[in-house]
Amino acid sequence: MYLVLLGAPGSGKGTAGKVIAEDLELAHISTGDLFRENLKNETELGKEAKQYMDKGELVPDEVTIKMLKDRLAKADVKNGAVLDGFPRTEVQAKCLDDMLNEMGTKVDMALNIDVPFDEIVERIANRRSCRGCSEIYNVVFNPPKVEGICDKCGGELYQREDQKPEVVENRLKVYSQSAEELINHYEKAGVLYNAKAGDSVGKTSFDIAKEVEEYIKNN
Ligand code: AMP
């Protein structure tokens, strides 16, 4: 099973994706995390990606697509994967269709999590990530047990460069530029699942994950 997560940065797709991947025993592949791992390890790929990431811009398609292709070839993808943050452009979506086609499979569901932008801006401002395992916390709604320390691995929590307000604004702009074509792509393929989340509808990322799992079970 291959599940693609659409939705703006800060929509909670990372959190929902991790829950779904764990429950359905799928690999969780986040291209943002893969880039950050390369950054931490100071690889050539990491150095190249950094200049785009720090500004909230997209890393060029050819670089991102190659990285994803290598990741999909790993053994833990045997049951399928939840793709978090890929595709982000229509070119990437078409490449993904081709890659999966070559593997004899396809995207089974594209989950589009829709959260109002004003809520997203506040959420990202409250967000902290673990330097060790990249677990995500919200200092208001989902704080760690000990301030500044990851519950899972004891790593240091920090605010990513691209979670700062001026970069967030640009990331949302970049997202808006390609959101519609991605949504149309998966709507045409008949695999789009729309979910509204956030305070205004009283639904968390965990609620969305459970709703989607229920839907998958019954379809
Ligand atoms: P994320 O954690 O998914 O918000 O990703 C962080 C950053 O990594 C993005 O702002 C981009 O600079 C880069 N990135 C992640 N995924 C992609 C992608 N599919 N295409 C291009 N750039 C990406």
- How far is CA 182 from its chain centroid? 14
Alpha helices in 26-130 (DSSP H): 31-40, 44-53, 61-72, 90-102, 117-125
Q: Which atom of ligand 1 is nearest to the CA of 35?
A: 8
Q: What is the pLDDT of residue 60?
A: 96
Q: What is the pLDDT of residue 199?
A: 85
The catalytic residue positions are 13, 88, 127, 160, 171
> Taking the domains of the chain in order of start, what are their residue ranges?
2-217
For residue 69, which of 86, 88, 57, 52 has the smallest C-alpha distance?
A: 86
CATH number of 2-217: 3.40.50.300
Q: Nearest residue CA, atom 14 of ligand 1?
A: 32
Q: What is the pLDDT of residue 4?
A: 98
Ligand 1, from 15, 28, 40, 53: best to mutate by most atoms within 8 Å of Cβ? 53
Q: What is the pLDDT of residue 212?
A: 96
Say how far apart CA 48 and CA 53 lie, in whole Å.
9
Say how far apart CA 215 and CA 155 lie, in whole Å.
35
Q: What is the pLDDT of residue 166?
A: 85
Q: What is the pLDDT of residue 32?
A: 93
Give me 60's structure tokens.
Answer: 């060029």
- What residues in the chain have per-residue pLDDT under 50? none
Q: Which residues form ligand 1's pocket by a CB distance below 6 Å?
A: 9, 31-32, 35, 52-53, 56-59, 64, 85-86, 88, 92, 162, 171
Q: What is the pLDDT of residue 160?
A: 87
Ligand 1, from 31, 36, 92: best to mutate by most atoms within 8 Å of Cβ? 31
